[in-house]
Chain A
């Protein structure tokens, strides 16, 4: 196998898939950092975002790319609503109770998608998109868009967290909630902000997953395991870790078919998760251990 086919058939699809995982893992890790529980409805929220974009694009006759911002806003609002309805009153309880509630929310979100859009596979665009050749490296247009948008979102998030007052408040609350509260940071606003970011990124990850593969009602549930593996591999609470973790998981998944039967491709993220928990539970970037 020469270098070009390695890049074209394994590395590039892995990086694209990995950047989709990274978007989800950033949300997971933010929720872990600020609210300190695992959010199991994340995958199904991504499914919802993906189908919202499909719906909006079909309704207004837009291209799916134009529908992405709408889906991001809808998912962000939905995330706040879910928190307000189902998680907010559990904050004084042991955190694991909220994890159970999020499991229920996952089931509810999935049922809503199945009721509205059915269980059949669909996609944003018909036909096969032809890859463009860049000096032997073949990139499909939607792969290029995926990578560019993900890079843009990550830079925007980084600027927000380091430059903006609310971003700094979020980091403060992640480091030490009591101290943050004492210095006058409004917990509820920070939590709402977290849901906006996590929900929005989640919809984007669902959208790009749908763009690069296809839309199914179980697509989000199926990326939950790799997304969590990415967040834990990077180190819980570390945004840069979630990005690196996502890329590692995505590339490993694509490369795994060289060694194991392709039926078990989905399990490579599970293997990564087990190895991380065994050898280095703080993850690559020394995150929190909960």
Chain B
């Protein structure tokens, strides 16, 4: 037993943390910056996973594949396909209030799950895709995990830096302006539908990237590998708990929620088998309750978005100023 074996579980946890961090940043672009309610992010995640799996595996009888592309191409493909699927969805729904987008994205996720389950030629249906390669996957198990953590961590850092840069660039300020006061932004000549669509596609592409990172870790993907409600919900609670609109916040949220989720699993696994299964649902109940508690007592999240206030103007004193608002669109009736 060498020292590396003790790192296996923490490393495994941290890889997932990075994957969820990527999902959380994707959702933060959609919800935090643009105020778009994506309730089907598991669908985009699955699309990314399947795309990368199809692009990087070798020939298999009866399904599309045999491209044998290297890992970075798989990830790029995952991002492109997820982003492209987001395009028509955004085109149809972004004209309306975000509830419509939410219900339509639930439908999109359902459609993607059904396609993955049914279309033999594309996804090998219920048997799924196996033998997905992993970079440096030929090393001994512990080293390979560590190497993959380094790769995923590096990708997450790059994503974070790029998105942070984008958020502080004029694009990010414009997105916040659209989110907080759509009419004013239109009056300033901003093309609101196009900008929203950009944010929606960019966020979905990052969810696809996360899916790609997941499939190279798991090395196999089946339609039931992803519990859509659970994945979607965990990411939402990460974003809201951490602080929507703040990338550092949502990463913090990803770390906290994933630790809670995994630690509670360790606890419930000690229970006798007949309780252990039910305990999984108990944990889901607690995650739902956590969301309610956050919304009630700290709706702005642990690390709220930093908003620059206008220096001593009317707006700074108005009741809709900092205290009363939450990082969300003010565009309802």
- A residues with CB within 8 A of B: 36-38, 40, 85-86, 89-90, 92-97, 99-101, 103-108, 110-112, 114-115, 118, 221, 224-225, 228, 232, 261, 263-264, 266-267, 269-270, 273-274, 277-278, 281, 289-290
The 8 Å CB contact of B281, one of A114, A225, A263, A273, is: A114
Closest to B95 in A: A281
The answer to whether B2 has its CB under 8 Å from any CB of chain A is no
Establish whether residues B328 and A277, one from each chain, have CB atoms under 8 Å apart when the complex forms.
no
Establish whether residues B103 and A273, one from each chain, have CB atoms under 8 Å apart when the complex forms.
yes
Establish whether residues A103 and B39, one from each chain, have CB atoms under 8 Å apart when the complex forms.
yes
As a 0/1 sequence over residues 279 to 299 of chain B, the CB contacts with chain A under 8 angstroms (1 = contact) are 001101101110110011001
Cβ-Cβ contact count across A and B, 8 Å cutoff = 143
Closest to A95 in B: B332
Q: Whole-angstrom distance between the alpha carbons of A59 and B312 in the complex? A: 66
Total residues of chain B contacting the partner, CB 8 A: 46
Q: Whole-angstrom distance between the alpha carbons of A264 and B323 in the complex? A: 47
Closest Cβ of chain B: how far from A269's Cβ, in Å?
8
Establish whether residues B96 and A111, one from each chain, have CB atoms under 8 Å apart when the complex forms.
no
Establish whether residues A101 and B96, one from each chain, have CB atoms under 8 Å apart when the complex forms.
no
10 residue pairs bridging A and B, Cβ less than 8 Å apart? A97-B299, A104-B288, A104-B289, A104-B291, A107-B229, A108-B288, A224-B103, A269-B107, A289-B96, A290-B332
Establish whether residues B285 and A105, one from each chain, have CB atoms under 8 Å apart when the complex forms.
no
Q: Whole-angstrom distance between the alpha carbons of A210 and B222 in the complex? A: 29
The 8 Å CB contact of B330, one of A94, A101, A228, A278, is: A94
Establish whether residues A111 and B282, one from each chain, have CB atoms under 8 Å apart when the complex forms.
yes
Chain B hits for A110, CB < 8 A: 229, 281, 284
The answer to whether B265 has its CB under 8 Å from any CB of chain A is no
Q: Which of B97, B107, B287, B332 has the most CB of A within 10 A?
A: B107
Closest to A226 in B: B107
Closest to B294 in A: A104
Assuming the A-B contacts A263-B118, A274-B92, are A93 and B288 also in contact, with contact meaning beta carbons closer than 8 angstroms in the complex?
no
Establish whether residues A270 and B107, one from each chain, have CB atoms under 8 Å apart when the complex forms.
yes
Assuming the A-B contacts A37-B99, A225-B103, A267-B111, are A115 and B285 also in contact, with contact meaning beta carbons closer than 8 angstroms in the complex?
yes
Closest Cβ of chain B: how far from A181's Cβ, in Å?
15
The 8 Å CB contact of A114, one of B278, B328, B330, is: B278
Assuming the A-B contacts A103-B39, A281-B96, are A93 and B299 also in contact, with contact meaning beta carbons closer than 8 angstroms in the complex?
yes
Q: Whole-angstrom distance between the alpha carbons of A93 and B328 in the complex? A: 9
Establish whether residues A38 and B103, one from each chain, have CB atoms under 8 Å apart when the complex forms.
yes
Chain B hits for A267, CB < 8 A: 107, 110-111, 114
Chain A hits for B326, CB < 8 A: 93-94, 97
Chain B hits for A94, CB < 8 A: 326, 328-330, 332
Establish whether residues B117 and A263, one from each chain, have CB atoms under 8 Å apart when the complex forms.
yes
Q: Whole-angstrom distance between the alpha carbons of A11 and B333 in the complex? A: 40
Establish whether residues A264 and B288, one from each chain, have CB atoms under 8 Å apart when the complex forms.
no
The answer to whether B122 has its CB under 8 Å from any CB of chain A is no
Establish whether residues A111 and B114, one from each chain, have CB atoms under 8 Å apart when the complex forms.
no
Q: Whole-angstrom distance between the alpha carbons of A112 and B289 in the complex? A: 12
Establish whether residues B328 and A96, one from each chain, have CB atoms under 8 Å apart when the complex forms.
yes
The 8 Å CB contact of B278, one of A115, A261, A270, is: A115
The 8 Å CB contact of A232, one of B100, B111, B278, B324, is: B100
Q: Whole-angstrom distance between the alpha carbons of A231 and B301 in the complex? A: 33
Chain A hits for B39, CB < 8 A: 40, 103
Assuming the A-B contacts A36-B332, A225-B106, are A96 and B288 also in contact, with contact meaning beta carbons closer than 8 angstroms in the complex?
no
Establish whether residues B229 and A221, one from each chain, have CB atoms under 8 Å apart when the complex forms.
yes
The 8 Å CB contact of A86, one of B102, B110, B292, B330, is: B292
The answer to whether B240 has its CB under 8 Å from any CB of chain A is yes
Q: Whole-angstrom distance between the alpha carbons of A169 and B257 in the complex? A: 44
Establish whether residues A270 and B110, one from each chain, have CB atoms under 8 Å apart when the complex forms.
yes
Q: Whole-angstrom distance between the alpha carbons of A163 and B172 in the complex? A: 53
Chain A hits for B332, CB < 8 A: 36, 94-96, 290
Closest Cβ of chain B: how far from A34's Cβ, in Å?
13
Q: Besides the contacts A40-B39, A40-B102, what 7 more A-B pairs have beta carbons closer than 8 Å?
A: A92-B324, A95-B332, A104-B233, A110-B281, A261-B118, A290-B96, A290-B332
Q: Whole-angstrom distance between the alpha carbons of A93 and B104 in the complex? A: 23
Closest Cβ of chain B: how far from A41's Cβ, in Å?
10
Q: Whole-angstrom distance between the alpha carbons of A106 and B289 in the complex? A: 11
The answer to whether B236 has its CB under 8 Å from any CB of chain A is yes
Q: Whole-angstrom distance between the alpha carbons of A278 and B95 in the complex? A: 10
B residues 87-121 near A (Cβ < 8 Å) are 92-93, 95-100, 102-104, 106-107, 110-111, 114, 117-118
Establish whether residues B114 and A100, one from each chain, have CB atoms under 8 Å apart when the complex forms.
no
The answer to whether B71 has its CB under 8 Å from any CB of chain A is no
Q: Whole-angstrom distance between the alpha carbons of A11 and B326 in the complex? A: 48
Establish whether residues A90 and B295, one from each chain, have CB atoms under 8 Å apart when the complex forms.
yes
